Chains A and B, each alone.
Chain A
């Protein structure tokens, strides 16, 4: 089995198999040290990290899909995407940290962490997914972190409505976009900052929140402490971590991370084709997708009844149907949707598979949402390798009866 398709491979064997010597020495460095330490003095990355590390520094790691048997993804197993890594702890220390809101507003604001408690507290359970999740499956391969299946998770986020803050400041009539920036900084000043923006409609959406808690715990350092944006239904490139600066503007944010990266073609494109800038628009809403959490890739199973389980989600809509195929996609049978149907969260599903015969089998799953979007077998190629939502597949071996 190839390493690229086996998300369960351990970090150590990955390193052992990857280019040796220098590469190993470089990637196996003291990650906790480089990432800075959380307030408690604990290393930011736990010594026992069960995630699959894609990039050691700045830290990018995905969740092993069997974790998705749990509806909520635990904080220390939740995927991490860092552009530059966490800022130095003193800058995001709750006493020193400030959030500013300026630009096209009547009353610019500067808030301390304690000031946040003056706003109504709200919670939303939402999927957060990296736009590059599944990039490794695009052919030809697109440059970027080669995420496979686990750059996604479902968590309960608690904080305040972004809308309440914007209303407190008062928007000027020409306010169209909200620019977001965090306290994280690149190693070299020549690298563009991670500056993003959100159309004002999404910023004013009642479910868009500034979160300071994740699954009931203070937001962990790797997930953006002390405050990050959560845009339910949208890809995580909007969910800026270590948030410090909000600027209301008439235009989209400038710079590499808004104008070049995280863009998707509005028409089908061929690999290598030159795409005019006006034919690329920012990645925003998630699209329909599902994953098989069990059985695991490469598992050997007794013949008879096999419980296939997983999760399915879509952007700002609902999951209507999940189907499973055990014959390479020729025929599909409906799975049972289980658990609660909560907006923005993922839906769990189960399928009881009665195996026939023995040997290698492939299980596929695909979801359909309330807009009639169905997962394709493979997603359209695009230069950034974004929005992969090809039917999920797992290879297993059925033992002889």
Chain B
């Protein structure tokens, strides 16, 4: 009788432990899923600021409430008109927009905001800039706003801009963004910003 009770008890304990373990597994899984999603969202928000805010501010995007297929068509149209997105970025962006700005989303949908990039440790690169690499980086990231050969567009002229001679200010401005310019600190590595500056300084008058 006592024996049976003990067996029963230990049986219960075993089940309990199993359940606890299972629960722990589930919660960490969910928490992990959540952080992955948050990180992905933050990446996509940076993408939105860097690639979509070129021709219009992002409020035009956030006020829409569209089903996925309409978002697909809209982003396709933007790419056709000159938005700089590769296929992976396009898919990321559509998934994000369809998640937060769908027809049933209420009037206010506030996905967690991307943190402003602060000073990263070891931000100062020690390699001199490589203009050839900078040219390619410029074309993909900066040209839509600052124009062909840095001649200016929606953003100011960068060729021959006095800021080019102040390396620290250049890096800080690009990394942190200013006004309508998005921050690049989380998009570009410090060395890449130096490469872009190196290329910009080679542009003749």
Contact = CB atoms under 8 A, between A and B. Distances in A.
Interface of A: 2-5, 17-23, 25-27, 29-30, 33-34, 53-58, 60, 140-141, 143, 145-146, 186-192
Interface stretch (B10-18, B113-121, B130-138, B158-166): B113-121
A146 B64 contact: yes
A4 B81 contact: no
Contacts of A3: 107-108
B56 A19 contact: no
A92 B177 CA distance: 31
B91 to A, nearest CB: 20
Interface of B: 45-46, 48-49, 53-60, 62-67, 70, 74, 80-82, 103, 106-111, 113-116, 144-145, 153-154, 177, 179-180, 182-183
- Of listed B60, B111, B179, residue having the most chain A CB within 10 A: B60
Nearest to B52: A26
Given A21-B116, A26-B58, A57-B57, A2 B82 contact: no
B145 to A, nearest CB: 7
Given A34-B154, A143-B64, A143-B66, A18 B180 contact: no
7 contacts: A21-B115, A22-B183, A30-B180, A145-B60, A145-B63, A187-B55, A187-B154
Contacts of A188: 54-55, 81-82, 144, 153
Given A26-B182, A187-B145, 16 more contacts: A5-B107, A18-B108, A19-B62, A21-B115, A23-B62, A30-B179, A53-B59, A56-B59, A141-B64, A143-B64, A187-B54, A188-B54, A188-B81, A188-B82, A190-B81, A190-B82
A22 B49 contact: yes
A190 B115 CA distance: 32
Given A18-B110, A21-B113, A22-B182, A141 B65 contact: yes
B74 to A, nearest CB: 6
Contact of B180 (A20, A57, A141): A57
B179 A29 contact: yes
B50 to A, nearest CB: 10
A17 B110 contact: yes
Chain B binding surface, main DSSP class: loop
A26 B80 CA distance: 23
Question: 7 closest Cβ contacts across the A-B interface?
Answer: A21-B113, A190-B82, A29-B180, A20-B113, A188-B82, A4-B107, A56-B57
B81 A55 contact: no
B82 A191 contact: yes
Contacts of B59: 18, 23, 26-27, 53-56
Given A25-B177, A26-B53, A141-B65, A20 B110 contact: yes
Contacts of A30: 179-180
Contacts of B63: 54, 145-146
A27 B82 CA distance: 21
Contacts of B154: 34, 187
Contacts of A56: 57, 59
B55 A22 contact: no
Contacts of B66: 141, 143
Nearest to A30: B179
Contacts of B64: 141, 143, 146
B123 to A, nearest CB: 20
Contacts of A189: 82
A393 B183 CA distance: 43
Contacts of A2: 106-107
A3 B45 CA distance: 22
A19 B113 contact: yes
A53 B62 CA distance: 13
Contact of A143 (B74, B82, B108): B74
Contacts of B55: 186-188, 191
A143 B67 CA distance: 10
Contacts of A58: 56
Nearest to A17: B108
Most buried by A among B49, B115, B144, B154: B154
A4 to B, nearest CB: 4
Contacts of B179: 29-30, 33
A26 B55 CA distance: 12
A53 B48 CA distance: 20
A186 B45 CA distance: 24
